[in-house]
Amino acid sequence: MLVIMFLTMLHFSLASPLRVGMEVAELALVGCVAVGKHSKVAACLLVLMLALETTMYNAFWAADDSAAYDMKKYDFFQTLTVIGGLLLVVACGPGGLAMDRKKDY
């Protein structure tokens, strides 16, 4: 569910090269989290990148009109929700189906 929620946040239509580059890197990192390959490191990097991105692009407190305020506020709190889920992955680990999990045969 965390991956699906992250995928709803992608905005490739806002095409500045920095933003597209950040979103491609974030997509690769969320892929690592999804399959469980180096998921704690990937989740930490995603938390840092998402925190930076959401304060840069979703500063709802500086919005001029009501529509921009509402949309930026929605995106800001949606990103905070994903950050919370990623912090849970960092704290508890990726789970039993992760690729990094050692198999005991």
Q: DSSP letter string over 52-66? A: HHHHHH--GGG-SSH
Query: The whole model's pTM is what?
Result: 0.83
Which pLDDT does position 45 carry in this prediction? 96
Taking CA atoms, 91 is separated from 2, 21, 75, in Å, by 15, 28, 24
Question: Domain residues of the chain, as ranges?
Answer: 2-91
Between 8-12, 43-47, 62-66, 78-82, the lowest mean confidence (pLDDT) is in: 8-12
CB 54 within 8 A of CB 75: yes
Give the residue-averaged pLDDT of 59-88: 91
Share of the chain above pLDDT 90, in %: 40
For residues 23-34, average pLDDT: 90
Is the model's pLDDT at 37 over the cut of 80? yes
